[in-house]
């Protein structure tokens, strides 16, 4: 056995969880609300803008009609007072004589607009008011003929600046948009709260089912009123759970009873065989070899039955554990001495510092022995076995690495199941019936720990055991971060 120091643990990447039902419902309903409220807001803004434009157009048409009628009743040389009477700070008027195109009158306000008059496409401007954007301002334009007794005297040009009203409308629309977004945020929050409350019975049932795994108690409905769909689901799950519990309990009782009876009988057989071997001075070599094989197989069967009994007690929660602070360094050394007393295998240990875990010494030693034997069985004698021991912020970590044939990724989740073998044809050559890793998982989880495997076919396997650190152990100074 060779001891080395220093470790370089690899960290697993944390994967993202799938989208929860609560999130999907919240996003879906909020999206529908967004489309609905957004459509209403857009339609409202469009209607407000349309009403503003229509109002200004109607006002401009009315002014154009009244002014043209006044001009028709007035001598062209006296048109200026008429325009001054109708002019306002935002309304510009001009009157042009038809015969020579001379501008006879022009209002005072918007004097800067007079210079733009020649550039305005008045020829394309009809008697119906239109809104055009000129130099960044919203202007309502209108051209009205001035007639008297069917004779065309001239043309009246009107321009009204409605930029202020448009700005007020834009501010109002922006306020409406902000209020809509705020309302959507509030609605989304209320929807999330309502959905979370509606899904509470399902979460409670999940917690109750998780808490009662391995227990014969039936599932019960939450105290608060629940939807009919959830009530039916709970009743169906409770019935199924009771059936599974009864079946599992009968199976455990049968396995325990059978294992106990067989163990008793095999112990008697083993005793007689060993007694015969001790007294068998007159046995032939063939007889002695046969009895030794019988004794060895009987011993192996007794251990398998013991594993069955222990696994049954673990699954039923009847296995008592003595949890206390223990030094994993000493447990590792003892386990290696037990599984390889003659140091026939190269076992490399990396333990840079003492590690104290909160565990049962006998059971964690049993876990180590199972994993070490497993590594020896599935790797060649000349291949090393690496054992790493270190701690993170909350875990004491044991890693056992072999360079054997490896395990396919599709079977990683099944190797810890009772009686499961990666290759059934190798059961007799490697021994066992597939209980070792199941016992490891049950013992580690019974000590509030975790066990997992990383393996690639042809490259060996790495089994990782995590146990809680002893309460008085502080976070290590090595800077190692906890891994999932």
The answer regarding whether domain 22-170 maps to CATH 3.20.20.140 reads no
CATH number of 324-468: 3.30.565.10
For residue 327, give the DSSP letter: E
Distance CA 231, CA 204 (A): 12
Residues 222, 200: Cα–Cα separation, whole Å:
9
Q: Does pLDDT of 2 surpass 50? A: no
Instruction: Give me the residues paired with residue 464 across strands.
Output: 399, 452
DSSP string for residues in 170-196: HHHHHHHHHHHHHHHHHHHHHHHHHHH
239 or 402: which carries more pLDDT confidence? 402
Per-residue pLDDT reduced to its tens digit, 225-255: 666 766 777 677 777 777 777 777 787 777 7
pLDDT tens-digit series, residues 155-194: 888 888 888 888 888 888 888 888 888 888 888 888 888 8
pLDDT band at 475 (very low <50, low <70, confident <90, very high): very low
**How far apart are alpha carbons 44 and 39 in whole angstroms?**
8
**Any idea which architecture 228-315 has in CATH?**
Orthogonal Bundle (1.10)
User: Which residue reads 């240990």 in tokens?
Assistant: 349
Give span(s): CATH 1.10.287, the chain: 228-315
> Running DSSP on this structure, what letter comes out for residue 74?
S
Taking a C-beta distance cutoff of 8 angstroms, is the pair 211, 61 a contact? no
Summarize pLDDT for 37-84 with one digit per residue, the tens.
888 888 888 888 888 888 878 888 888 888 888 888 888 878 888 888
Looking at the predicted structure, is the pLDDT value of residue 110 above 70? no
Residue ranges of the chain that CATH labels 3.30.450.20: 22-170
What's the Cα-to-Cα distance from 147 to each of 21, 151, 161, 320, 428, rounded to whole Å? 74, 5, 26, 113, 118
Reading phi first (left if > 0) and then psi (alpha if -120 to 50, else beta), residue 19 is in: beta
Q: Which residues pair with 455 in a beta bridge?
A: 461
CA distance 106 to 159: 12
In the structure encoding, which two tokens stand for residue 405, read together? Answer: 């044939």
Pair 141, 159: CB distance under 8 Å? yes
339-375 confidence digits (pLDDT tens) = 888 778 888 888 888 999 999 898 899 899 889 988 8
- As annotated, the residues of the chain forming the CATH 3.30.565.10 domain(s) are 324-468
Spatial separation of the C-alpha atoms in residues 227 and 208, rounded to whole Å: 17
Pairing of strands 356-359, 324-327: antiparallel
């Amino acid at each position: 056995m060779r001891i080395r120091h220093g470790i370089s643990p690899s960290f697993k990447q944390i994967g993202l969880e799938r989208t929860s039902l609560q999130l999907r419902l919240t996003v879906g309903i909020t999206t529908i609300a967004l489309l609905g409220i957004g459509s209403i807001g857009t339609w409202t803004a469009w209607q407000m803008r349309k009403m503003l434009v229509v109002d200004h157009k109607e006002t401009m048409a009315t002014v154009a009609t009244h002014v043209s009628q006044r001009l028709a009743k007035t001598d062209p040389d006296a048109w200026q007072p008429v325009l001054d009477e109708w002019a306002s700070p935002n309304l510009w008027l001009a009157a042009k004589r038809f015969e020579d195109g001379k501008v006879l009158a022009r209002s005072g306000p918007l004097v800067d607009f007079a210079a733009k008059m020649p550039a305005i496409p008045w020829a394309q401007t009809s008697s119906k008011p239109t809104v055009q954007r000129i130099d960044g301002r919203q202007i309502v334009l209108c051209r009205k003929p001035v007639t008297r007794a069917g004779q065309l005297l001239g043309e009246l040009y009107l321009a009204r600046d409605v930029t202020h009203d448009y700005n007020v409308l834009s501010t109002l629309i922006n306020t409406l948009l902000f209020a809509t977004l705020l309302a959507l945020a509030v609605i989304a929050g209320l929807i999330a709260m309502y959905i979370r409350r509606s899904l509470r019975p399902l979460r409670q049932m999940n917690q109750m089912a998780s808490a009662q795994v391995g227990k014969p108690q039936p599932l019960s409905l939450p105290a608060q009123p629940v939807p009919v769909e959830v009530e039916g689901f709970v009743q169906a799950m409770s019935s199924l759970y009771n059936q599974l519990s009864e079946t599992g309990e009968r199976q455990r009782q049968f396995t325990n009873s059978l294992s106990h009876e067989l163990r008793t009988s095999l112990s008697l057989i083993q005793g007689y065989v060993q007694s015969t071997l001790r007294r068998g001075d007159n046995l032939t070599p063939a007889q002695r070899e046969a009895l030794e094989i019988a004794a060895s197989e009987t011993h192996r069967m007794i251990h398998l039955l013991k594993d069955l009994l222990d696994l049954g007690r673990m699954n039923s929660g009847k296995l008592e554990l003595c949890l206390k602070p223990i030094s994993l360094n000493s447990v590792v050394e003892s386990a290696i001495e037990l599984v390889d007393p003659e140091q026939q295998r190269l076992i490399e240990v990396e333990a840079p510092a003492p590690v104290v875990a909160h565990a049962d010494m006998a059971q964690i030693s049993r876990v180590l022995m199972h994993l070490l034997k497993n590594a020896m069985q599935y790797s060649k004698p000349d291949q090393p076995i690496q054992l790493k021991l270190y701690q993170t912020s909350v875990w004491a970590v044991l890693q056992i690495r072999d360079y054997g044939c490896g395990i396919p990724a599709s079977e990683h989740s099944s190797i810890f199941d009772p009686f499961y073998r990666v290759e059934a044809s190798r059961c007799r050559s490697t021994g066992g019936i597939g209980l070792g890793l199941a016992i490891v998982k049950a013992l580690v989880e019974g000590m509030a720990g975790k066990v997992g495997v990383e393996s690639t076919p042809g490259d060996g396997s790495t089994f990782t055991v995590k146990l809680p650190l002893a309460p008085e152990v502080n976070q290590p100074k090595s800077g190692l971060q906890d891994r999932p």
